[in-house]
Structure 1
Amino acid sequence: MMRHFDKSGILEADSSFRRDLINSLSGYKSLNLIGTKSKDGITNLSPFSQVFHIGATPPLVGILFRPHSVERHTLENIMETGYFTMNHVTEAFYQQAHQTAARYENSEFEAVGLDEEYLSDFFAPFVKLSPVKVACSLKEKQTLQVNGTVLVIGAIEHVFIEERGLRDDGSLDLNRLGTVTVSGLDEYHLGKKLARLSYPKPDKALREI
């Protein structure tokens, strides 16, 4: 049996029900810990599921932030310094990753027991345990008129990948890396590969690659 919610029903629903429903509709989402550092040298770490590919040439990524109506250390550090890191999460530390969403006065790294790592003289910290680490510099910031959400676009400066998860064609084997995904706001999953399929063409049958 299908449940139906129209717009008015969604808006009239309990606020926590509406939040959880809408946040779950897009299905499984990528999970990254975003690492930043203030000009004063205080490090910050926060989980984000709204991280997405913008382009490959040049290599760009986007992050969506909630409206900047309250103090948001990650966004403020990026705007002040121009640098941030993206770090995949694994089963070994997904609970610590979740806990970084709490509001701490000092570094989330220290608060949840995750080690910082600095690579290639990059300003912002990486998560030492992460199997995929991406260093980014700020390229653009836009405030979306529809609801005040902030879009940050970063240029990829460095990529560090555990060798076991890097295929010859450049794609990542997320199963081998143990990358965790998230649905909604608080439910974590390990991926299960079905298949890699060939590029779709109208005159050719699909095949596994």
Structure 2
Amino acid sequence: MKLHKEDIERLERAYRLNLINSISGIKPANLIGTRSSTNKENVAIFSSVVHLGSSPAQLAFIMRPQTAIPRDTYPNIMETGFYTINHVSEAFIEKAHYTSAKLLKGYSEFERMKLRPEYIGDFHAPFVKESPVKIGMKYEESIPLPNGCIFIIGSVQMIICPDDIINDLGQMNLESYAGVGISGLNTYYGFKKLDSFPYVRENEIPEFNEKI
């Protein structure tokens, strides 16, 4: 298959949607938990969480355009300034996926999908109890994107995970807790560790024998 821009634009809508959503490869599967100023809980799946920097520790994710009737995640973050990012594992893929449903405002996906909210200390937003890796976030900034989406930047306030999934270098083993990723909109993949390589310095690059 070889498609130019004009060919892509002529594709059937659903086919184009699936193709363009999947060509970026596997993306992390995360549940973002929020709670409104009136204590209404919300959780929704996102595949756009990215690392921004380690000092200060910052992560970001992309929020879809807000319509005249915005969904709960964005307003909750704007109201309270706090949210959580929770890794999805194989044990609850189906429940996590169905949090993408458009429920009526004020209805909790925690309750509908039988996921358990967990509060840790005095952190305002709920974590997902089933998640093996939980990250408490504080909202820092929103950047409007050309397509109407919003780039949400937050600072890491808290990390909760089992001690044995992190090695002596601080590297997290995603395979050890059956973490999953998303391709496109609704296809999930498991993680298997293939190898680990050192931080690259030019004088340490090995001599490779042939082109692949």
Shared fold per TM-score greater than 0.5: yes
Contact 1:35 1:44 in 2 (8 A): yes
Letter in 1 for 2:192: K
Distance in 2 (alpha carbons) for counterparts of 1:25 and 1:94: 21
1:82-106 Cα offsets, whole Å, 9 max, x none, are 1100000111101000011112231
- The answer for the alignment partner of 1:79 in structure 2 is 78
- The answer for the alignment partner of 1:203 in structure 2 is 203
- The answer for the alignment partner of 1:98 in structure 2 is 97
Distance in 2 (alpha carbons) for counterparts of 1:174 and 1:109: 24
Contact 1:32 1:48 in 2 (8 A): yes
Contact 1:162 1:177 in 2 (8 A): no
Report the CA distance between 1:68 and its aligned residue.
1.3
Give 3-state SS (helix, strand or coil) of 2:24's partner: coil
Distance in 2 (alpha carbons) for counterparts of 1:201 and 1:156: 29
Contact 1:164 1:177 in 2 (8 A): no
Q: TM-score, length-normalised on structure 1?
A: 0.94
Matched, 1:61 2:59: yes
Report the CA distance between 1:171 and its aligned residue.
1.1
- Counterparts of residues 47-196 of structure 1 (less than 5 Å): 47-69=45-67, 70-105=69-104, 106-144=107-145, 146-196=146-196
Matched, 1:4 2:2: yes
Distance in 2 (alpha carbons) for counterparts of 1:135 and 1:31: 16
Distance in 2 (alpha carbons) for counterparts of 1:18 and 1:62: 26
Report the CA distance between 1:205 and its aligned residue.
4.3
Structure 1 runs of 4+ off > 2 angstroms? none
Q: Identify which range, 61-70 or 48-57, moves more after superposition.
A: 61-70
| Number of equivalent positions | 203
- The answer for the alignment partner of 2:209 in structure 1 is none
Distance in 2 (alpha carbons) for counterparts of 1:101 and 1:107: 12
Distance in 1 (alpha carbons) for counterparts of 2:50 and 2:181: 13
Distance in 2 (alpha carbons) for counterparts of 1:40 and 1:202: 55
- The answer for the alignment partner of 2:210 in structure 1 is none
Q: Identify which range, 101-110 or 43-52, moves more after superposition.
A: 101-110
Q: TM-score, length-normalised on structure 2?
A: 0.93
Contact 1:64 1:150 in 2 (8 A): yes
Identity %: 39
Report the CA distance between 1:199 and its aligned residue.
1.6
Distance in 2 (alpha carbons) for counterparts of 1:169 and 1:118: 29
Distance in 1 (alpha carbons) for counterparts of 2:76 and 2:49: 17
| Unmatched 5+ stretches in structure 1 | none
Distance in 2 (alpha carbons) for counterparts of 1:171 and 1:202: 23
